[in-house]
Amino acid sequence: MITILIKIAASLVLGVLAGFGAVYIFNKMPAAWLSDYDAKPPAELTDPHIQRVKGFPWRWIYAAGFSCLLIRLSFFDVQFAAAGLFACWALLIIGLADLKYMIIPDQFVIMLAISAFGFIPYQSGLMQPLLGALVGGGVMLMVGVLGGAAFKKEVLGFGDVKLFACLGLALGLTGTVVVLIGASLLSGIGAAIAMASGRAKKDDAKPLGPYICGMGIFYIFIVWPFL
């Protein structure tokens, strides 16, 4: 009973720190991290008085989400919970950055890749992370090349390729395939709803990162512990 109470208390404390920390870091990170290479950051990013993400209610929402994630995963395995928190925290920042500014910060993609070391004991084999990275990055690269040739414009940024390669490294082949299918379906549904409601046009650029990150968090939080 004491062990259970300690796990719950630790999960709540770490969850609040992760949720509050995500909002703080996103609002305070250098503007250059949220801009294209060698591009001058817009005023919105350099103005210290502008909150990129509102503190209320988002830090509490994120804190509640991370607390639930840790409580759930800690009863599965404490090391898996730590790796899951590390990966999901990076995925949240990446998803927010792509949603708001159409950019995927390399710094947090590297953080996601580092989290892969924590998931190694839960892979079915040492080749799984490598296969996940090859399939995830390879499929995104192929879509980008073929889509660019077909539509004569960039349809997928290289940031998405790097994101999926590093996510595949963390999730392994099975997780990569699940996230790939799920993100593709959700992005298609989201684009259809946006166009049907008049909030977007057919040729508008639409970020894929939030769908990839959302499905990655869903896989770690819901699917993987049951496999």
User: In this model, does residue 224 exceed pLDDT 70?
Assistant: yes
User: In this model, does residue 210 exceed pLDDT 70?
Assistant: yes
User: In this model, does residue 202 exceed pLDDT 70?
Assistant: no
Mean pLDDT of the chain: 92
pLDDT bracket for residue 110 (50, 70, 90): very high
Least trusted range by pLDDT, from 30-34, 96-100, 140-144, 201-205: 201-205
Rg (CA), the chain: 18
Question: What is the average pLDDT across 133-162?
Answer: 86
**53, 79 Cβ separation under 8 angstroms:** no
Give the C-alpha separation, 154 to 1, whole Å.
Answer: 56
**147, 140 Cβ separation under 8 angstroms:** no
Q: What percent of the chain has pLDDT over 90?
A: 72
Give the C-alpha separation, 100 to 115, whole Å.
Answer: 24
**183, 215 Cβ separation under 8 angstroms:** yes
- Token digits of residue 111: 């953080």
Of 197 and 82, the structure prediction assigns the larger pLDDT to: 82
pLDDT bracket for residue 144 (50, 70, 90): confident
Question: What is the average pLDDT across 16-41?
Answer: 93
Give the C-alpha separation, 113 to 121, whole Å.
Answer: 15
Give the C-alpha separation, 13 to 19, whole Å.
Answer: 10
Beta strand residue intervals within the chain, DSSP E:
none
pLDDT bracket for residue 137 (50, 70, 90): very high
User: In this model, does residue 204 exceed pLDDT 80?
Assistant: no
Give the C-alpha separation, 118 to 179, whole Å.
Answer: 19
User: In this model, does residue 24 exceed pLDDT 90?
Assistant: yes
Q: What are phi and psi of 204, to 5 degrees?
A: -65, 145
Give the C-alpha separation, 201 to 198, whole Å.
Answer: 7
DSSP string, 180-203: HHHHHHHHHHHHHHHHHTTSS-TT
Give the C-alpha separation, 34 to 177, whole Å.
Answer: 28
pTM here? 0.95
